[in-house]
Structure 1
Amino acid sequence: MQTSTKALSGAVADIDDLHHEKLLKAIFNLSLWNFGPDVIDALLELIVSLAASNGKHVDSCLDMLVSNFTPPNKVLDMLKQPRGLEKKERVLPRVHAALKNISELVPMAASRLSSIVLEQMPWKSKRNVDQWSMKRQLIYVENMFKLESGAIREFVGANMLKDVMNVLRDLDVAIGWDDILHDDSSKGVFMIELEDENYADGDEDADELPSTLSEKSLSKNLTAELLDSLMVQTFEHLESSVSNKRLSEVFDTLLSSFKDTVLNTYKSKFTQFVMFYACALDPEHCGTEFASELIDMFVGGHNPLTRMSAVAYLASFLARGKFLPPAFVASYLGRLVDWCWQYCVMHDGDMNPKLHQVFYSGCQAMMYILCFRMRLMVEIPLLKSQLFCMPIDKIFKHKLDPLKVCLPSIVEEFLKQAKAARLFTSSKTFVFEDLLVSNLSRDFGGLERLDMFFPFDPCLLKNADRSFIRPNYVYWKYVRTTYHEDIDDDDEEDGSDGEVEGAAEFDDDMEEVIISRSYGDNDLEMDEFDYAMNKMSITPRNNSSAGLRMPSRIRPSMSPESL
């Protein structure tokens, strides 16, 4: 076969599409995985020659090469064995070399390649995930990443990343809430599930997850298993981009894809952690660019839903990013508070959740960030001064009355910490007695919004979380609040201070650019305010003796309209 194939390579100019149709079809249907290296080399020489000799054959040649991204089932089943790995190393580098050769000989080929890769994607052709489709998808995406970082990345790299993000998003959305939730104790619009007091032995973050929202819920879900594996592949690709000094280039594409693909996908639960991990790898560049883009979208002229999504992502990112130093968080919190205060100045009307939903989303984001970060900020004199100069109390005393509209669990925790930190300059008593999810909160959130107020809630994908996200993530049980005294030093050793190695150096740089704000007559001597509220549980259960717990996951109702 090697000899006849080489002979054909020398006679490609004489091959006629009509007279040799069956021959061409047979060649294009060949699987390189069935041959030894000499035959593979001869076949690829023929494919490259066909593409270069006749423009009509370019798509067919590219189709043939892309189809060899995945092996036949008999080889697919042994890819983790030495024999399977040997075949993989024999075929795939040669396939990518052939794609490079064709792209150099036929300039139009590179532009066609992206479309062909997308068309042949296994996820596009088969929506029901089984073990075979899972293995095919994994090796296919591995090849997409090879294209993204390979010799022709200038022509196809950005498209490969965007297509992978689309795959992650599609799989993410395919994992419906029914696959995660099995508790219909609450009906109606979206509601917050409080963190469960009890957690499984040996799972250090289980108390962050309600009992109905855990990795166990997804343990037998093949779609979730595939998504988990693809997320791991993506994280590993990001790490290789760091090694190759390409993360900045890759991140620019990811950020563009995030805005187009993920930001306004209301049921996205996991895909956004690609952005989170990229920022963890380079907080100074990627983290700054991500946070800046989000705050700019919120204060800019985008539509209300995009602005609400952006500020939700910003709040969750600043609260959960263990790699973000307090000064970094304070700088973006300051911009958020500035906008909310200016909104109050410009709007003198009364409370209206639907009309002012963007404002209320900003206020809720502000409180959520401070629930996680207030203790860290008040322990640093410069940041404490900056925080106490922000007009936070003026915002909450305004007639728009955000404390009555935002989610009660966040308001309660925020007020409790603000009281302990003596944050407010006014002697006014803040009372928030209606601790059930009110119609005001529902009007502000709407059916499509409350399911994503905290986009970076704990990741339920086992491998992606434990190997990549967890070391960079702030869990609520490790947060040092302003009203709790340190019992021992163990929590700090576990990372309860929300910082990781390298954050201090980044923090020093941030402090140099922070300018302390002044908003008029703010007396830094705080008058302690009275604070009374009933303990509450969003879900109907008898738990009146339990202490306050922050919301971990927003749970949709089981009503059809909410899905």
Structure 2
Amino acid sequence: MTTNTPLSRLAYAPTVASSPIKPILRKPTASVLGTRSRADDSDGADEEEHPMKRQKKTVVFNENLNMVREISGKSFEDAKREVRQALEGKARGDEQDYDNLKDLFAPSNRNSSPDEDEEDPRHQELLGYVVALTGYVPMLGRSCTGLVRSVLRCSWLDRDENFAKAYIQLLAALSSVQASFFAEILRMVVEKFLETKSPSAVPGFPPVDLETRKKRLHVGIKYLLDLFPAGSKMIIKLVTSKFPYTDEPKAVHMSYIDHLLRLKTSRPDLERDIMELILAQLVKLDVEMTLDLENDEDDTTRAVMRSIQTDAKDDQEDDESDDESVMSDDDDLPEETKRVIKIKNKLETLDAIMDLVFSIYDPIFEKPDSDEAVACFENLLSDFKNVILPHLKSRHTQYLLFKFAMKSDQLMEMFLGLLLSVAFSSTEAPVIKQAAAAYLASFTARGARVQSHTVQLIVSCLLDYIDYYRETHRHCRGPDVRRYSLYYASFQGLLYIFCFRWRDLLDQGALPDNVDWDDPASFLGQDLPWMPDLKKRMHANIASKLNPLKCCSPVIVEEFAQLSHHLGLMYIYPQIEKNKSIHLSQFYTGSYAQGGALRDTGFEFDNEKWTHLEACFPFDPFQLPIARRWLDLENNYVTWSPISVLRKPGGEATDEDEEEEDSDEEGSEEESEMGEEELEDREELFEEDTATDDERAD
């Protein structure tokens, strides 16, 4: 059977000289498959003694059929006859020739001696049997699955280009016979995505470099998918299932993604599926890294960051041999060191993939308001909603949206519009809405190109929502972070935005003359013109039964309390002191209230830390040293300015500051025990991004 789809994109020579095909399914001493023994064939002996006298013919590729039409005359006919008789014998129950045919396609023993390789005819003459088997593919039924699998194990990428072309034709012919064969073929080619180096050369053929192997592989994939378009869905399922595990070396991940990008180029109809798959795996790795760092001791985290920053400064290329040498010595290392190496390797993998993905999208957004850029950003928004948003622990992948949303007002409005619609949707799951609220607050607070009027618009939307929610639940028993999670997430987002963008919440046209916008200290002691009803509406919520200051993160509440007091917005310390006597467990409405056992809740009421909303904001400082070069953080990112910048000129604390510090020192015993941990959390949330790389390393 032949195929008729052109393979003209292959740069194969149209002809190639070939030696005669010797029958090799059985020993030549017996004329079993229509061949004579050499002892009885004097002409054959003469040909051995006088090779130049033998009749030579060349391999001719018929451009219409894209097939090897003739190989060395009679010898090719012998190969066809041997293949046919082997298949017919299999049908009769005689499997000797069939088994020999399977062995013929099996990968050769590359550890054999050169003399043995030269004497083995399979290395040079397998091409004839590939072409012959292509013609008899219709004879292959389900009983010949073993032969097909043997064919698929053949080292076809490591031979010459003519062999690769003929082999691709064989794969196409096999695919047309049975769907199961086609599935096996696609599985074989996808498994080769995991190869990171070229195997040793096939005896009789020069070594083939990795790039050539990749090109041949993807020429074959494109040819098969052009012939059988239904294979597109099959190959997407395969590349998804075969994607490397997160603990695989960086080289394996990068090679696999390179194959996916080549597949995307040759099959544009698969672009959306492939990019979504890459982002999904990137998020998976990102979330796993975040959890690893959260669960580790601070010393381990700092060791990992120092190590990866040192490697980035050295700017040395990592090769596979280095990875293998490190992993081979793991058994001799302390457990803590192994842990650092494992996390560091994952961080490097995450960094390399993020850098690659940035490089893919960046050229598209050179003209951010073009139709192409807008369409691409719409696809990114779809991937964000489906893949990134459900995983709030992701720390880096979402910066794809951050970077490109900063390119133009149109793209920024598209991103903010999506976050608003999801956060306040009536159909989305609560956890998704809470994540969207966190993204909305974090992007508004951290995006340097988010204009003041946009900041006020977002704050107004959040105020409208919490006012509506407060009014709807005015008869509630009290604060309950599990039951009213979206309310607390929205209020905490307001506090977070205020801490970073308080100047944008002022009526800039009504500012006092002696206020300098670039000097935060100049705002102290002034009667500042805040946006309408900001103070009134926030105070109404703070004093409500929902009591958001009790449920929001203590770190963020404390920072807001200091800023709002120094800036004259409101004084909330009395409410904070009052909240110390409130135990949130009394308002908990879990399974116990519905008749379940108290132990089933899984919480310890003596420790109320679980009742506070987690301070998780997606655009916290970006830590990957290589990929961060794409972000232009100096111009696009708002860094945290601590409360010290609002002290009186000269750096001296005011009497009020000293009184507050004394009051803090006289807090309850429980608060003092938690003080150190809260301080560390506060540094992580608000001060980490102000340090330079050298300071972090120190």
Q: Scaled by the length of structure 1, what TM-score is found?
A: 0.68
User: How many Å separate the matches in 2 of 1:226 and 1:177?
Assistant: 16
Distance 1:181 1:46, change over 3 A: same
Q: CA deviation at 1:166?
A: 2.8
**Structure 2 counterpart of 1:456:** 619
Distance 1:328 1:4, change over 3 A: farther
Q: CA deviation at 1:362?
A: 0.9
Confirm whether residue 387 of structure 1 aligns to residue 514 of structure 2.
Answer: no
Question: What is the aligned counterpart of 2:240 among 72, 95, 118?
Answer: 118
Q: CA deviation at 1:371?
A: 0.8
**Structure 2 counterpart of 1:172:** 286
**Contact 1:417/1:482 (CA < 8 Å) preserved in 2?**
no
Q: CA deviation at 1:266?
A: 5.1
Q: Map 1:71-90 to 2 at 5 A.
A: 71=195, 73-74=197-198, 87-90=209-212
* One-letter code aligned to 1:373: R
**Structure 2 counterpart of 1:497:** none
**Structure 2 counterpart of 1:146:** 262
Q: CA deviation at 1:454?
A: 1.5
**Structure 2 counterpart of 1:80:** none
**Contact 1:344/1:398 (CA < 8 Å) preserved in 2?**
yes
User: How many Å separate the matches in 2 of 1:436 and 1:35?
Assistant: 76
User: How many Å separate the matches in 2 of 1:69 and 1:438?
Assistant: 59
**Structure 2 counterpart of 1:407:** 553
**Contact 2:171/2:185 (CA < 8 Å) preserved in 1?**
yes
State the Cα deviation string for residues 243-272 of structure 1 (Å, max 9, x = none).
697554444444344334443335434443
Distance 1:122 1:400, change over 3 A: closer
**Contact 2:507/2:531 (CA < 8 Å) preserved in 1?**
no
Confirm whether residue 66 of structure 1 aligns to residue 168 of structure 2.
Answer: no
User: How many Å separate the matches in 2 of 1:377 and 1:10?
Assistant: 74
248-257 or 370-379, which deviates more: 248-257
Question: What is the aligned counterpart of 1:224 among 347, 351, 355?
Answer: 347
**Contact 1:374/1:482 (CA < 8 Å) preserved in 2?**
no
349-358 or 2-11, which deviates more: 2-11
**Contact 2:551/2:612 (CA < 8 Å) preserved in 1?**
no
**Secondary structure of the equivalent of 2:531?**
helix
Q: CA deviation at 1:421?
A: 4.2
**Secondary structure of the equivalent of 2:623?**
coil
Distance 1:414 1:44, change over 3 A: same
Confirm whether residue 357 of structure 1 aligns to residue 455 of structure 2.
Answer: no
238-247 or 56-65, which deviates more: 238-247
**Contact 2:254/2:353 (CA < 8 Å) preserved in 1?**
yes
Q: Map 1:394-473 to 2 at 5 A.
A: 394-423=540-569, 431-433=575-577, 440=584, 447=610, 450-451=613-614, 453-468=616-631, 470=633
User: How many Å separate the matches in 1 of 2:182 and 2:379?
Assistant: 28
Distance 1:13 1:362, change over 3 A: same
* One-letter code aligned to 1:370: F
Confirm whether residue 44 of structure 1 aligns to residue 168 of structure 2.
Answer: yes
User: How many Å separate the matches in 2 of 1:53 and 1:174?
Assistant: 44
Q: Scaled by the length of structure 2, what TM-score is found?
A: 0.56
Question: What is the aligned counterpart of 2:497 among 361, 369, 380?
Answer: 369
User: How many Å separate the matches in 1 of 2:581 and 2:492?
Assistant: 14
User: How many Å separate the matches in 1 of 2:345 and 2:297?
Assistant: 21
**Secondary structure of the equivalent of 1:387?**
coil
Distance 1:4 1:326, change over 3 A: farther
**Contact 1:169/1:268 (CA < 8 Å) preserved in 2?**
yes
Larger radius of gyration: 2
Distance 1:59 1:342, change over 3 A: same
**Contact 2:445/2:497 (CA < 8 Å) preserved in 1?**
yes
User: How many Å separate the matches in 2 of 1:410 and 1:242?
Assistant: 35
**Contact 2:148/2:181 (CA < 8 Å) preserved in 1?**
no
Q: CA deviation at 1:544?
A: 12
Confirm whether residue 160 of structure 1 aligns to residue 286 of structure 2.
Answer: no
State the Cα deviation string for residues 406-459 of structure 1 (Å, max 9, x = none).
2232223223333444446xx998653379898549989984985562122223
**For structure 1, which runs of at least 5 residues remain unmatched after alignment?**
77-82, 186-198, 204-215, 488-530, 555-563
User: How many Å separate the matches in 2 of 1:352 and 1:181?
Assistant: 29
User: How many Å separate the matches in 1 of 2:132 and 2:446?
Assistant: 61
* One-letter code aligned to 1:456: F
Paired residues in the alignment total 471
**Contact 1:232/1:464 (CA < 8 Å) preserved in 2?**
yes
* One-letter code aligned to 1:158: R
Q: Map 1:267-282 to 2 at 5 A.
A: 267-280=393-406, 282=407
**Structure 1 counterpart of 2:315:** none
Q: CA deviation at 1:178?
A: 4.8
State the Cα deviation string for residues 375-419 of structure 1 (Å, max 9, x = none).
244374399978334433443344433233322322232233334
Distance 1:549 1:13, change over 3 A: closer
* One-letter code aligned to 2:165: D
**Contact 1:2/1:38 (CA < 8 Å) preserved in 2?**
no
**Structure 2 counterpart of 1:551:** 685
Distance 1:443 1:454, change over 3 A: farther
User: How many Å separate the matches in 1 of 2:545 and 2:193?
Assistant: 62
Confirm whether residue 344 of structure 1 aligns to residue 470 of structure 2.
Answer: yes
Distance 1:229 1:550, change over 3 A: closer
Q: CA deviation at 1:370?
A: 1.4
**Structure 1 counterpart of 2:253:** 137
* One-letter code aligned to 1:170: K
Distance 1:176 1:220, change over 3 A: closer
Q: CA deviation at 1:25?
A: 2.0
**Contact 2:550/2:579 (CA < 8 Å) preserved in 1?**
no
**Contact 1:454/1:553 (CA < 8 Å) preserved in 2?**
no
Q: CA deviation at 1:364?
A: 0.7
Question: What is the aligned counterpart of 1:320 among 446, 450, 453?
Answer: 446
**For structure 2, which runs of at least 5 residues remain unmatched after alignment?**
1-124, 201-205, 300-305, 311-338, 512-527, 589-607, 651-658, 666-670, 689-698
**Contact 2:351/2:624 (CA < 8 Å) preserved in 1?**
yes
**Contact 1:5/1:46 (CA < 8 Å) preserved in 2?**
no
User: How many Å separate the matches in 1 of 2:627 and 2:576?
Assistant: 39
Question: What is the aligned counterpart of 1:237 among 360, 368, 371?
Answer: 360
**Contact 1:340/1:362 (CA < 8 Å) preserved in 2?**
yes
* One-letter code aligned to 2:345: L
* One-letter code aligned to 2:550: K
Distance 1:25 1:415, change over 3 A: same
531-540 or 462-471, which deviates more: 531-540
User: How many Å separate the matches in 2 of 1:429 and 1:541?
Assistant: 17
Distance 1:176 1:395, change over 3 A: closer
* One-letter code aligned to 1:387: M
User: How many Å separate the matches in 2 of 1:463 and 1:89?
Assistant: 25
User: How many Å separate the matches in 2 of 1:468 and 1:303?
Assistant: 31
User: How many Å separate the matches in 2 of 1:532 and 1:480?
Assistant: 13
Confirm whether residue 292 of structure 1 aligns to residue 417 of structure 2.
Answer: yes
User: How many Å separate the matches in 1 of 2:410 and 2:400?
Assistant: 15
**Structure 1 counterpart of 2:653:** none
242-251 or 340-349, which deviates more: 242-251
Question: What is the aligned counterpart of 1:264 among 369, 387, 390?
Answer: 390
Q: Map 1:84-99 to 2 at 5 A.
A: 87-99=209-221
Q: CA deviation at 1:175?
A: 3.2
Q: CA deviation at 1:341?
A: 1.9
Distance 1:10 1:238, change over 3 A: same
**Contact 1:299/1:307 (CA < 8 Å) preserved in 2?**
yes
